Structure 1
Amino acid sequence: MDDRHMQIGEVASRTELSLRTIRHYEETGLVTPSARSQGGFRLYTEADVARLMVIRRMKPLGFTLDQMRDLLDATDRLDSGSALAEGEREELLDRVRGYERTATEQVDRLRTQLTRAEDFAATLAARLNRATTRP
């Protein structure tokens, strides 16, 4: 993995999150800068960017900060390479599966909303077309 450090502005640009949002996620414990420069600037790695992208993708699906924290904790523990207690790995995988199910359900709801919105926009466009083509 890339060990290069980035300042918060580059991370904001790459993740399309505002500086304020990234700082908020830091304050709430969702992400922690990997290092600080001598001048005290936050420094992030690719792993930090990947973590922020998980958060960014969860937000529009309606996940709470606590749910984000719980999922990140589960994936961190699964990815740590540390030995897990008996049954712990399966419990963590079950938690991740639950989030995957919830995300899929929310995507389906959003697809339905998008279809309805597109139908409404098409109805308005057709109405305007009829109104503007009449003599």
Structure 2
Amino acid sequence: MSGEHMQIGEVAARTELSLRTIRHYEETGLVVPSARSQGGFRLYTDADVARLMVIRRMKPLGFSLEEMRGLLDATGRLDAAEEMPSEERDELLERIRGFEQAAQQRVQDLRTQLSRAEEFAATLARRLRNSPTS
């Protein structure tokens, strides 16, 4: 499908994001449609969908729009540059490494929260089982 354009409805279906959310990300500059149809409809490419998927995966981990922009900028610059000074490449890789470490920590924090929530639900279930019925 490379080079083929999709309208926003197809992008929403592929990414499981609402039209409103996709438009919001456009307004904030995180994802800009690659083209517009003659009628003014937004047109997206697979690369645009890939950007939206990165955003979709970052959101539940609590990354801010600015952090999302920073990661997308770093990965975009690495992907676009055929050659770049090694210092710049190392700096971009270090930024990405920081995001990876933050993501790992946030995943662990979510696992801890989930474990506590499961313990709470189990406690309530035990309480109900052990309650005298009227």
How far apart are residue 55 of structure 1 and its match?
0.4
CA RMSD of aligned residues (A): 1.4
Question: What's the counterpart of residue 14 of structure 1?
Answer: 14
Distance in 2 (alpha carbons) for counterparts of 1:24 and 1:82: 31
Q: TM-score, normalization: structure 1? A: 0.93
2:122 matches 1:122? yes
Give a deviation string over 1:47-104, Cα, whole Å, max 9, x none. 1111101001111111111111111000001111332134000000000000000000
Sequence identity of aligned pairs in percent?
Answer: 71
Unaligned runs of 5+ in 2: none
Distance in 2 (alpha carbons) for counterparts of 1:111 and 1:86: 37
Task: Figure out how many residues of one structure are paired with residues of the other and give that number.
Answer: 134
Question: What's the counterpart of residue 43 of structure 2?
Answer: 43
| Structure 1 runs, 4 residues or longer, greater than 4 Å off | none
Unaligned runs of 5+ in 1: none
| Counterparts of residues 70-89 of structure 1 (less than 5 Å) | 70-89=70-89
How far apart are residue 13 of structure 1 and its match?
1.6
Question: What's the counterpart of residue 105 of structure 1?
Answer: 105
How far apart are residue 41 of structure 1 and its match?
0.4
Moved more, 16-25 or 91-100: 16-25
How far apart are residue 17 of structure 1 and its match?
1.1
